[in-house]
Amino acid sequence: MTDTATSTTTDPRASGLAPFELRYLVLAAQREGNRALSRQLAPLGLTSSQFEIVLVLDSYGPITLKELGGLIVCETGSPSRIVDTLVRRGFVERATHPTDRRAVALQLTAAGKALVPQLREIDRAVDDGAHTQLDPDDLAGLARALRHYLAGSEYGAVLDRRFGADRPTLQDGDS
């Protein structure tokens, strides 16, 4: 992410933006996405943070709490509070780590694993909504711009760890 203290200022109108609009566009898009996701999750009684953690544990588990924290966007600090809730609800369990007996690993229970197909379908539906609203070139440009904006940030690193291996190879000049 660019440090505003060292960046040069350009007229936002040259980019088709009103002064100070960009931050609110990003915030509004994030809130709309969360609302769409929350509507889908309401019948399951899950929050968007719980949803993200279950899907990350499905893809990467068993993992430690610290490893989980390095793969999620929903929680800036330790995700222990959210994990505690998922443990109480019977979706996640703590067990001895498979490669380090001193460490505690988080993994999905049978009930957590049973939720995953529904959660993947919800994830797909919400993602498909963006794909239907934006043409492929606009979507690729938006993703490029957001990755560039997040480059060097904590969340940019989280997203790289989580999705970097699954991204398609881009043409020269793309980022």
Q: Is the pTM of this model over 0.95?
A: no
pLDDT bin (cut points 50, 70, 90) of residue 171 is: low
Classify 103 in phi/psi space as left (phi over 0), alpha (psi -120 to 50) or beta. beta
Share the mean pLDDT of the chain.
88
Domain ranges of the chain: 20-133
* The pLDDT of residue 65: 92
* Residue % of the chain over a pLDDT of 70: 89
pLDDT tens profile 28-57: 999 998 999 999 999 999 999 999 999 999
Question: Is pLDDT of 172 > 50?
Answer: no
In order of 23, 118, 130, 154, 156, the CA distances from 29 in angstroms are 10, 24, 10, 20, 18
Confidence of residue 3 (pLDDT cuts 50, 70, 90): low
67-113 pLDDT, tens digit per residue, is: 999 999 988 667 999 999 999 999 999 998 888 888 899 999 999 99
Higher pLDDT, 3 or 150: 150
For the domain made up of 20-133, give the CATH fold: Arc Repressor Mutant, subunit A (1.10.10)
pLDDT at 152: 93
